[in-house]
Structure 1
Amino acid sequence: MWYNFLERSKFISNLYDDVPDLNNVRIAAIKITDEGRRVSIHFNMPKFGDNPPSKWNNSRYNTVFVELDFFDIKDLSVSYCKENLRGNINIQKNEESGLKVSISGSVNVTFLADIGMIQSVSGYIDTVEE
């Protein structure tokens, strides 16, 4: 599974009985920083968590928001074709470079990274109709 290749994945693996694949996710942001050495991907998980914290239940959250960071980027490619960012996010172990990350959909991104981590996982109320 995609999260096994990332550091700080314990919370996401506890949040779900079976962590879903990242298919057709709504992407809030793709950020390229540190002169291209860092890529951040912010997105909504495809389904709400099976075991949310009680604070999330009490606040009636219905969406899980994830921020991933990747470092020491190589071979970055980006193309964009629509306003609404949606896509499938695929993260695989790569023998040569650490991680191979690709997004395919209304935005297409591919890159190699030495390391990736789950920067944050939060809940919120999403009122946007899918």
Structure 2
Amino acid sequence: MKHWNELDGSIFLSKIFSYPVEIGKIALFSFTIENDQPSISMDFDIPEFPDNLPEKWKSTEYNMCRTGITCNDIKDLKILNLPVHEVFTVQINRENDYFTFEAISDSASIKFNTKFISITEPTVYINGPDDYYFK
């Protein structure tokens, strides 16, 4: 899988970006595990910024795009070190009935298989220069 636009729930993402958004670098913001489902949710910033903003987003100097994923029916979860606010490289592959998700940074990694994966609606915000992960 090469683009976030290929995931379920990407209709709004495809409206605010005029091009396919490549799966690659993310700055992980939050990581939640629900063991009764089992499910995983992640929120993260991507280095790309929308080029087709809705009118209500045009009046402010937004500079960062945040989205996330929700994954259900998790198997084979492996976490090396607790993920912190740093840049991860992500790969998502489809193998038979499951997706394989892998995020690796310099000091941590998250790997699992999931039956269902969907992207959350993106938002934009103003990020200060000290908090900017993608240089």
TM-score (norm 2): 0.83
Aligned to 2:32: 31
Give 1:35 shift: 3.4
Give 1:45 shift: 1.2
Give 1:24 shift: 3.1
Deviation string 1:58-106 (CA, Å, 9 cap, x unpaired) is 12211111021000000000012774332012122221x3211110113
Aligned to 2:10: 9
- 1:42-61 alignment to 2 at 5 Å? 42-61=43-62
Q: Quote the Cα distance in structure 1 between the aligned partners of 2:108 and 2:20.
A: 23
| Equivalences, count | 129
RMSD, matched Cα? 2.0
The answer on whether the counterparts of 1:28 and 1:43 sit within 8 Å (CA) in structure 2 is yes
Residue identity (%): 22
Unaligned runs of 5+ in 1: none
Query: 1:104 and 2:104 equivalent?
Result: yes
Which residue identity lines up with residue 102 of structure 2 in the other structure? S
Q: Quote the Cα distance in structure 1 between the aligned partners of 2:65 and 2:102.
A: 21
Aligned to 1:68: 69
Give 1:16 shift: 1.7
Q: Quote the Cα distance in structure 1 between the aligned partners of 2:45 and 2:89.
A: 12
Unaligned runs of 5+ in 2: none
Aligned to 1:116: 117
Which residue identity lines up with residue 99 of structure 1 in the other structure? F
Which residue identity lines up with residue 54 of structure 1 in the other structure? E
Q: Quote the Cα distance in structure 2 between the aligned partners of 1:91 and 1:76.
A: 14
